[in-house]
Structure 1
Amino acid sequence: MVKKSMIAFVAMLFALVFFNESKAQTYATGVGLRAGVTNGLTVKHFIQEDVALEGILHTRWRGLVITGLYEVHKNIREVRGLRWFYGGGAHIGSWNSNRVPPPWADPDFRGTTVVGIDGIIGLDYKFVDAPINLSLDYKPAFNIINGAGFWGDELALSIRFTF
């Protein structure tokens, strides 16, 4: 039921973005929520017109992970306010599993600290008449220290208040 609702919401988002010809504007900073495989908080700040730094604080395996990303944004000319972006960065965090261990861990797993690198690619849209930004992205990660190697399941929708 939740997956069907998420698919319907994403379809409506894309319909609004691609069929809305209104003039959208860019933003300097956005603060909001990120929902997907992991859930958390996101802050995106543009340091140049087409370059942003994004910080994500999110949960995974009953733990907390902090991710920092450097992103390059490119306009999509057909829809003003819509950009695609790519970039990379790193993460550090801890996973805890007092009850049920992750599927990749042995039964005695109780938690660990993880450090790794991240990539990101996605779409970013700023509405013209509201201080709202929507972002849909794919963020694969590779844990270098302590934890299951490659994670390729991180798809998320971010909703930010912009100023």
Structure 2
Amino acid sequence: MKTFLRVGFTLALVMTLAFGANAQQYKTGIGFRGGVASGLTIKHFIKSDAAIEGILSTGFRHRGAVVTVLYEKHAPAFNAKGLQWYYGLGGHIGFYEGRYYYYYDKHRRDRYYDDNIVGFGIDGVLGLEYYIRDIPFTIGADIKPYINIPHGRGFWDSALHVRYVF
């Protein structure tokens, strides 16, 4: 767990120091995120280099839904027009039907709950996004590590996304 936090903090610090501000190329984007946690995503720029992203994902295996909100910083990537890095922090809250929610305890044993569960935690994100100016869409990929606070367990979530931007 300490290594997980150190890696996330180090990546955020390096990205903050390495990249300067960049004007956003769009104001708002709405689309689909497909990966470990799939669902709807909306991103809105609040400053030229900062955005708020909301993700509504469903967990079919766990029979639940998760709402994630992230504050993201954007910076140019590889001096390529339309390509941007983004990184940030945020949090999530999820609601699950317990009969489908499993996790490992510290002894690596499966646990089974027979009631409804509310989970919450801290999220990070590191991604790369490309803005296609000719058609108002972005495509991108990200890694979104998160820690569930009640259970103290970390996970790696990765996904691809497509957004219509305006």
Counterpart of 2:56 in structure 1 is 57
Cα displacement (A) at 1:135: 1.9
Contact in 1 for aligned 2:98/2:113 (Cα 8 Å): no
Structure 2 residue matching 1:72: 3-state secondary structure: strand
Structure 1 unpaired stretches of 5+: 1-24
Alignment CA distance shift 1:118-1:101 (3 Å):
closer
Q: Report matched runs for 1:96-135 at 5 Å.
A: 96-98=97-99, 100-104=100-104, 105-135=110-140
Q: Distance in 2 between matches of 1:38 and 1:69?
A: 15
Higher fraction of strand: 2
Deviations 1:9-61 (A, max 9, x none): xxxxxxxxxxxxxxxx8111000011000111000001111100000000122
Contact in 1 for aligned 2:125/2:145 (Cα 8 Å): yes
Is residue 2:51 matched to residue 1:42? no
Q: Distance in 1 between matches of 2:75 and 2:34?
A: 23
Q: Percent same amino acid among aligned pairs? A: 43
Counterpart of 2:16 in structure 1 is none
Contact in 2 for aligned 1:101/1:110 (Cα 8 Å): no
Cα displacement (A) at 1:109: 4.1
Counterpart of 1:6 in structure 2 is none
One-letter amino acid matched to 2:64: G
Deviations 1:69-118 (A, max 9, x none): 000000125211000011000111112243x4425352344431011111
Alignment CA distance shift 1:89-1:101 (3 Å):
closer
Q: Alignment length, in residue pairs?
A: 136
Q: Distance in 1 between matches of 2:113 and 2:65?
A: 20
Normalised by the size of structure 1, how large is the TM-score? 0.77
Cα displacement (A) at 1:153: 2.3
Counterpart of 1:90 in structure 2 is 91
Contact in 2 for aligned 1:63/1:95 (Cα 8 Å): yes
Counterpart of 2:81 in structure 1 is 80
Alignment CA distance shift 1:141-1:76 (3 Å):
same
Counterpart of 1:31 in structure 2 is 30
Structure 2 residue matching 1:78: 3-state secondary structure: coil
Is residue 2:164 matched to residue 1:161? yes
